[in-house]
Chains A and B, each alone.
Chain A
Amino acid sequence: MAHFSIPLPARRTVSIDLSRFNGIVRLLANRRVQLALMILVPILLLTTFRSVLPIAGPLETNLRAMTKAPSLEHLFGTDRMGRDIFSRTLAGIQISMFVGFAVALLSLIVGLVVGTLAGFFGGAIDRVMMTITDIFLAFPSLLLAIGLVSVMGTGMLPVVLAISLSDVPRFIRLQRSMALSLRSRAYIDAARTVKASHLWLMTRHIVPNTIASLLVAASIAAANAILVEAGLSFLGLGIMPPAPSLGNLIRDGQSYLEQAWWISTLPGAVILLIAISLHFLSDGIRQVLDPRSRK
């Protein structure tokens, strides 16, 4: 290979390209993202530092304070065993957030890998992968989850897997369609003429141009996962009591709705708040990414 002998310039200027951070700046400037963060950040801070807060532990019972209405001492009130609902809600959020994050991450990774391979290679690989995906898509997600939990038993891992299983096909479909349309772009052809490897084409040209859309889908999936986890726990198929998942909290209070409305209602309101703000977040990301929705 030829060598180019060009004298090095005396001084190299190192320039940091600020436009690289443009995306994050624009994201933080978006109203919906700001609103979402205004709700999510305090909630996350509270749950992270709940052990240092002056509240009872989530599993601590207090027989002298059973089914107490919300007060300064017990912000969300107590349940029939005298456990502090606020503390239990914070613990529940931690579990919910973990489930949401795990599901989003798992779906994202599997969707990215499988979808890219199917869309990029096409042909037989695509057909096999898509047939399997379609089979999973054909089942209602809750049914799939119930089936899986009944085989694997209850607990955190089965819940995460069950929810992911119903989300993953959507991610694969999304990523596949994007990879398929990018595959024939001229810049991929240009890289092919220099015999770039498939791995190079996929990691350098396809994934960087699809990852943003997948992140939008992932934040919606996280919100959805939190709701489904609450639903599964409510049905007794999710996290086992006495672990304080948000679904468990609602179920606990279900039979006391008339006497102690706060046991179910307040954790339910928190779920609503988190789900809404995650949707705001994904909407904001989409707005920033989609030039057409920009004014």
Chain B
Amino acid sequence: MNLHVPIREPLLDVRDLHTHFVTDTGTVKAVNGVSLQIEAGERVAIVGESGSGKSAMAMSLLRLLAHPGKVVAGEINLEGHDLNRMSERQLNDIRGAKIGTIFQDPMSSLDPVMRIADQMVPPIMRHLRLRRDAARAEAISWLDRVGIPDPSRRIDAYPFEMSGGMRQRVMIAMALSCRPRLVIADEPTTALDVTIQAQIVELLKELTAETGAAMIFITHDLGLVARFAHKVGVMYAGRLAEFGPVGDIFARPQHPYTQSLLDTIPPVDQQERRRLAQIPGFPPDMKRPVTGCAFKDRCPGAHRHCFEEAPELAARGNDHVAACWLPEGLGADRTVERPLVEPLAPTGIPGDDRVAVEINNLHKHFTGRSALPWRKPPTVRAVNGISMRIRRGETLGIVGESGCGKSTVARLLLGLDPATSGDIFIDGIAQMVFQDPASSFNPKMTLSSIIQEPLIVTGWGTRLEREDRVRELLGQVGLDESYMHRYPSQLSGGQRQRVAIARALALKPSVVVADEPTSALDVSVRAQIINLLMDLKQQLRVSFVFISHDLLTVSYVADMIAVMYLGEVVEYGSADEVFHTPAHPYTQALIAAMPIPDPAAEAARVQTPLSGELPSPLSLPPGCSFASRCPKATDYCRSHKMVLKPYSATRETACHYAN
């Protein structure tokens, strides 16, 4: 081994880490020889597809693996002590004290039956050797620093009394309260809305800078990486494929896998409406031994050597290493693989002005039960007066944070729930692609009967005709007919979403409503599904309603965008305009909060995250519903309701001060 003498001892020095999960069907080599060094104060992002071993790697550092995971070899040196040789008791002094952890789901990582104080104070007492009252004061000061209002009272709250964003702040306070040298955060913002995510990311940046703690940040969101990280590690099949400074990785990626991952992201610049790159194939089965490079089967540049010997990490520049036999990975040629998408006119099909969907003053109110019979029952105005038109062949993107009513609009469009008032006209039928590919299908039905179901129910054709239609549909979504007799459990997430699209297209609908169709998928698969939707839109001239919280994807897919906030559309117009020159302060905030997968652009942006959270939908403010969080709000806004008004020829906005 090449033993160079470091000028400064790294904070964390991991050498040749191996983690295995022994199961009845074989040993999963989740981490297969990872070495990396992290300096104090450094923020390192680890990216990779699900199953690449990034979470297993992070949990191995703490030896907090779920059964039957086990670190089988390697050194984990933290400030000169090998954690892998420590006893469980010694480790307990490290966990929390030297290493803090932030998990993905703030709902399940706090104990629901314990007050915040009971979860925060004992670790502080133990690790900082403080008495109870001093530890409590310390905890309160941390809650204050993470932005919990009224911390001396909230410390005695239970987790369920707080919102998801607040709980994640508590998690951060807990992780940092014992002044750890290293913080491990496993997808800490994935469960949160974009504006809250922006707040949390800024908070983490600030606090780690302040305490000088290093951070390992696991994520699949390359935009977040660009915003947050100093260094990036790309994991593939249990190994580091590439590791280097964030600017270098984005500007000069060296490994074909990193290069492909970066190309799967929709471009920010709409002028360059290229097809997204997609990574063919699947990651290797981690139970089988791999000969040669693990990425060779999916790599367009693979040659003989790649099949014979696995490449080791080798220097590719300052601090930049990559494990690939090709000197520049796929090099600059890789752009040739991506033909440009034929740009569609923003109005849908040229010369076809017919309307596919028309929505007039749509309302959906959910009425609860009042606590006392003479009180007015609480009412949530999930959709509160929406009017829209979708032309044939046009894609409407609906964006907004959770609770804005976007999914309710979808259910109303499909006729799954009755509207409270207003009307919906659909020229033809509407079909749906759901978010969660796992619960979209009856597990007891074959794909053939799943796709046939709409045909059978509507009495379409004979059995043979229906089976032919299933073959045709499978072909359209890029699956061959051998899939007909498979069950949903035998498919990957991306394949399931293809089947969901095939089922939605079976009856030749005029509009397909897709509610977060890609958010449960890995980035590489996400690109495949988006490409497929774009192709189908052009081939079949079907209108899409694309609902997502991911603005970048929506702006890429959609012709028109509607931005929703608390049941109302606050801005509506052509995708380009809304995305590049947002008029409404909320749209502006959403776009500012959205991380851009470009470190240089991210560094140039001034971050002023939107403050506050959604007001309770049970008691909406009388005026503009956004006034409580709006930087431009005046007394007029707080007392007067805003409605959509024309802003330009192709745009409407509901803000008094938009001009």
Among the listed stretches A90-98, A116-124, A191-199, A215-223, which one makes contact with chain B, having 4 or more residues with CB under 8 Å of it? A191-199
Q: Are A194 and B416 in contact (CB under 8 A)?
A: no
- Complex Cα distance, B453 from A295, in Å, reads 35
Q: Are B440 and A190 in contact (CB under 8 A)?
A: yes
- Complex Cα distance, B429 from A132, in Å, reads 42
Q: Is B485 an interface residue, CB under 8 A from the partner?
A: yes
Q: Is B436 an interface residue, CB under 8 A from the partner?
A: yes
As a 0/1 sequence over residues 454 to 491 of chain B, the CB contacts with chain A under 8 angstroms (1 = contact) are: 10011011001100110110000000000001010000
Chain B residues 584-607 with CB under 8 Å of chain A are none
Q: Is A259 an interface residue, CB under 8 A from the partner?
A: no
Chain B: number of interface residues, binned into ranges: 35 or more
Chain A residues with Cβ under 8 A from B432's Cβ?
Answer: 189-190, 193
- CB of B459, distance to nearest CB on chain A (Å): 8
Q: Is B289 an interface residue, CB under 8 A from the partner?
A: no
- CB of B471, distance to nearest CB on chain A (Å): 8
Q: Is B430 an interface residue, CB under 8 A from the partner?
A: yes
Chain B residues 395-422 with CB under 8 Å of chain A are 411, 414-416
- Complex Cα distance, B24 from A209, in Å, reads 27
- CB of A249, distance to nearest CB on chain B (Å): 44
Q: Are B503 and A2 in contact (CB under 8 A)?
A: no
- Complex Cα distance, B415 from A3, in Å, reads 26
Q: Are A187 and B457 in contact (CB under 8 A)?
A: no
Q: Are A187 and B416 in contact (CB under 8 A)?
A: no
- Complex Cα distance, B436 from A192, in Å, reads 17
- Complex Cα distance, B458 from A8, in Å, reads 23
- CB of A176, distance to nearest CB on chain B (Å): 19
A211 closest partner in B (C-beta): B444
- Complex Cα distance, B460 from A185, in Å, reads 25
Among the listed stretches A66-74, A155-163, A200-208, which one makes contact with chain B, having 4 or more residues with CB under 8 Å of it? A200-208
B459 closest partner in A (C-beta): A1
Chain A residues with Cβ under 8 A from B429's Cβ?
Answer: 193-194
Q: Is A186 an interface residue, CB under 8 A from the partner?
A: yes
User: Quick one: which of A8, A197, A204 contacts B442, CB cutoff 8 A?
Assistant: A204
- CB of B322, distance to nearest CB on chain A (Å): 39
Q: Is A17 an interface residue, CB under 8 A from the partner?
A: yes
Q: Are B439 and A187 in contact (CB under 8 A)?
A: yes
- Complex Cα distance, B436 from A187, in Å, reads 10
- CB of A195, distance to nearest CB on chain B (Å): 7
Q: Are B431 and A193 in contact (CB under 8 A)?
A: yes
Q: Is B622 an interface residue, CB under 8 A from the partner?
A: no
A22 closest partner in B (C-beta): B487
- Complex Cα distance, B489 from A19, in Å, reads 12
Give 12 A-B contacts (CB < 8 Å), ordered by A residue: A1-B458, A4-B461, A17-B446, A186-B440, A189-B432, A189-B434, A190-B504, A191-B454, A192-B416, A194-B453, A209-B442, A295-B24
- Please give the residue numbers on chain A whose beta carbons come within 8 Å of chain B beta carbons, in ascending order: 1-4, 6, 8, 15, 17, 19, 185-187, 189-197, 200, 204-205, 208-209, 295
- Please give the residue numbers on chain B whose beta carbons come within 8 Å of chain A beta carbons, in ascending order: 24, 411, 414-416, 429-432, 434, 436, 439-446, 450, 453-454, 457-458, 460-461, 464-465, 468-469, 471-472, 485, 487, 503-504, 507-508
A-B contacts besides A192-B415, A196-B457, 9 pairs, CB < 8 Å:
A2-B508, A3-B465, A4-B461, A187-B439, A187-B440, A190-B432, A191-B457, A193-B415, A194-B429
